[in-house]
Amino acid sequence: MNKTALSILAHPDDAEFLCAGALIRLKTEHAYDLHIASMTPGDCGSVEHGAQDIARLRRAEGAQAAALIGATYHCVEESDLLVFYSERTLEKVTRLLRLVQPTIVFTHSPADYMLDHEMTSTIVRAAAFAGPIPNFLADRRLGAVLPGIPHLYYCDPIEGKDALGREVEPGFRIDISKVIETKAAMLGAHASQRDWLLKHHGMDHYIQAMRDWSAKRGQEMGVTYAEGFRQHLGHGYPRENVVGQLLGIGGAAHEVSG
């Protein structure tokens, strides 16, 4: 199996909150090639810079964070608050999947706190299905078809809750205690966002918030830090939990159902 993992999340710092620990472990323990993609360059994430300036800054921060773990950063170049499930985004994400040829894909929870995240989840789910289909938009040269649908995983929603405030229970948890400092260093590369969150959310604990969330998931499985995931198990998608097998499912081992 091709050892390539790709995360496709809405904004340039989402991977550092939600799945960087799993990505780091796939690379360091199993020699996976890593790719980190965001749907937008984070063009609304500032009160002091215009959209183009902050987008340029955040693309650079995304690339810098990815480079810390030897990953390649990609931006799908949509816009904040304007991520839609459409022919255009499905085409772009299918093209990205065919370029990267991942066997493991991480995206957002289908239910999350904001629509950019939910739309991204839907787009990636559909693109994973389209990736191996030769006749899908065949006239647009989307690249070499995937050999099969990749293993698709949903990260925790932000704060582990859907838009109605209901808890979203992970299907399984991955111990990231040994890589938490690297994950924090990656998040630290997104310097513009620490400023933005301070002004917009009154929150001056950007990295601490990530640590606190990882600690909560860790506590649930009896380790210091963890990340939670659910696997897409619908018809046609691979159901073998390769991430769980490679990284070990701690705590309640019976929770592998996804």
Residue (119 or 223) nearer to Zn ion, CB: 119
Q: Which residue is nearest to Zn ion (CB)?
A: 11
**Residue 79 vs residues 43, 44, 118, 140, 211: alpha-carbon distances, Å:** 7, 8, 15, 23, 28
CB 158 to Zn ion: min, Å: 7
Residue (134 or 165) nearer to Zn ion, CB: 165
CB 153 to Zn ion: min, Å: 17
CB 29 to Zn ion: min, Å: 27
What residue ranges bind Zn ion (CB under 5 A)? 10-11, 14
d(CA 206, CA 196): 10
CB 3 to Zn ion: min, Å: 27
CB 11 within 8 Å of CB 40 = yes
Residue (22 or 221) nearer to Zn ion, CB: 22
CB 54 within 8 Å of CB 192 = yes
Reduced to 3 states (helix: H, G, I; strand: E, B; else coil), residue 53 is helix
Choose among 26, 9, 11: nearest CA to 176: 26
Residue (60 or 115) nearer to Zn ion, CB: 115
